Amino acid sequence: MSTPRLRFAPSPTGYLHIGGARTALFNWLWARRTGGRFILRIEDTDRERSTQAAVDAIFDAMRWLGLDWDEGPDVGGPHGPYFQTQRLEIYRSYADKLRQAGKAYACYCSREELDAGRKQAEAQKRQYRYPGTCREKPYDPSRPHVLRFRMPETGATTFDDLVKGPITTPHDTLQDEVILRGDGMPLYNFGALVDDVQMGVTLVARGDDHVNNTARQILMYQGLGETLPVFAHLPMILGADKTRLSKRHGATSVTAYRDMGYLPGAVVNYLVRLGWSHGDQEIFTLAELTRLFDFADVGDTAGVFNPDKMLWVNHEWLRALSDEELARQALPFFRAAGLPAEDDAKLRHVVRMARERAKTFAEIAQQFRYCYAPAELDPKAAAKFLTPETRPLLQAVRDGLAALPAPDAQSLEKLFQEVATARALGLGKVAQPVRVALTGGTASPGIYDVVLILGRAESLARLDGALARIG
C-alpha cells in the first residue's frame, strides 16, 4: 500500500477559522499517525475574495497550532506549484482531455440567459437544472465559452464515506456543471479534483458541507480514468443556537485565541475532542493524538462549540506548565497590558500563584495587575475592610513588617498570627484588610505570598497608603 497523502486546501478569503483548523488538524493527525504526507494547497481561484494577507494569516495560524506541512507553499514539493492560480495550465490540460473524450463540452450561454432560465424555474417553483443547451454544439474556441462536464442523467453514484458510511447521490439531481470559467479559472469541484489527482492525494477529509460535491467529483475522476481517493466528511461545528458557527457566536479565528492567551496544544485538544473521542479521556498531548487519532472514531453528528469547555481545557494545559515556561509565555501578556514585568524570580512567583486561579495568559496578566501597577481599590472592598475598626490591625501589621528586615513565609506567618491572637481574632480578620490594602480587592493568593511578591518596601508603602486613606 502506498504512502497516505492528505491535504488541507483553504481558500484565502479570511483568517483561519476554527472549523478550518479542525479540518486541517484531522488531516494532519492522520498523516502523522500513518507516516504519510501532509500537503498544504491554497485555493485562490476566487480572485475577488482572495488576499495575500489571508494567505499569511493562514500560515501563521497553522504554524502556531503546530500543523506543519510536508509539501506546500514555501516548502515546495514534487507536485507544485501549490497556489491554484499558478496551476492554470494544469487545469486546462485536464479539461482538454475531458473535452476531447467527449466528457466535457463548451457552453456558449451568457450569464443573462442562464439567469433568465433560473428565474423562470423559480417562478414556476421548478427545480432548475442547466437544460443542456450547448451539449451537442461543436467546439468553437473563438467564441467566449465555459466548459461543462457532461453528467449522466440516470443512475446513481454511491461511495463509502470513512465517517458517515455509504452515501448515495441520484444522478438526476446533478447538472452539467461548469468546470472551467470563461477566463480559464477552474471551479471548485474541478480545480480541487485535478489537484488531488495530480498531487496523488489518497484521502480527502473535509467539511460536511462537501458531501454533495463528492458524487460529482467521483464522476469526474471516472471521466478522467483516475483512481478514487477515500473520502471522509467531518461534521460541522455549530454555535450555541445550533446554526453554523460564525462571528455572531464569538471569536472564530484561531489567532484570536492565541491573542487571548490560549495554548496551541489546548486549542488542538479541544478541537479534536469536538467530534472525536477516545473513551473517557479528555486531555491529550499532541504525541498521544498522533498515536490514537482515527477517522473511524469521528462521530457523525454536528457539534456545538462550547467556549466554557475550551477554557477549561486551556486551564488544564496551563497548569501543567513549569513555572519557568509559564513565566516565559505570560510575559508578553503583561507587557501588552502595559505592565513592566520581567522574566525573573518575581514573575515566576506570580505565575506560580496564578496557575490555579487564571485560565488564560490574558487572565493572568489582568488578575495579577496589582503586582506590577498600583492597586486599583475596589470601593466596596475598601468600605468594608479599610475602616477605623481595622486601622489598628493594619498599623500593627505595618509596624511588624517594618521590623522584619528580610521577611519570609515563616516570619510573616508569625507576624500575622501574633497580630490576630493578641486581639483574639481569627486570621481572616487580619488578612482581609491587609489584602485589600495590598491588592485593592478581596480575592488574591495567600496573603504571605502577596507580601513576598510585592516586596517589603512596596508592601509597606501600600499599607501606609491605606492607613492614610482611613485617616
> Within 41-70, which residues bind RNA (CB under 7 A)?
43, 45-46, 49
What is the C-alpha to C-alpha distance for residues 414 and 289, in angstroms, rounded to an integer? 49
- Find out whether 159 and 167 touch, Cβ atoms under 8 Å: yes
> If binding is defined by CB under 7 A, does position 218 make contact with RNA?
no
160, 259, 297, 389: which one contacts RNA (CB under 7 A)? 297
Pseudo-torsion of CA 193, 199, 201, 207, nearest 10°?
A: -50
Could you identify the residue written with the cell 506570580?
350
Residues 298-337 that bind RNA (CB under 7 A): 299-304, 306, 308-309, 311-312
* Min separation Cβ 17 and RNA, Å: 11
* Min separation Cβ 248 and RNA, Å: 12
C-alpha cell at 369: 495587575
Task: Single out the residue of 308, 306, 281, 305 nearest to residue 293, CA to CA.
Answer: 281
> If binding is defined by CB under 7 A, does position 155 make contact with RNA?
no
User: Among the options 97, 103, 125, 247, which is catalytic?
Assistant: 247
Residues 416-435 that bind RNA (CB under 7 A): 426-428, 431-432, 435
61, 162, 187, 377: which one contacts RNA (CB under 7 A)? 187
* Only segment of 21-29, 131-139, 279-287, 455-463 that touches RNA (CB under 7 A): 279-287
> If binding is defined by CB under 7 A, does position 88 make contact with RNA?
no
Per-residue string for binding with RNA, 355-394, x by CB under 7 A?
Answer: -xx-------------------------------------
DSSP 245: P
Residues 226-245 that bind RNA (CB under 7 A): 235-236, 238, 242-244
33, 92, 97, 181: which one contacts RNA (CB under 7 A)? 181
Residue closer to RNA, measured from CB, 224 or 427 = 427
From the number of C-beta atoms within 10 Å of its C-beta (0-12, 13-18, 19+), residue 302 rates as middle
Long-range contacts of 418-427 (CB under 8 A, 24+ apart): 419/393, 422/396, 423/393, 425/393
Measured over the CA atoms of residue 295, residue 301, residue 305 and residue 311, the dihedral's sign is negative
Q: Is 125 a catalytic residue?
A: no
- Find out whether 307 and 250 touch, Cβ atoms under 8 Å: yes
Residue closer to RNA, measured from CB, 3 or 243 = 243
Active site residues: 247
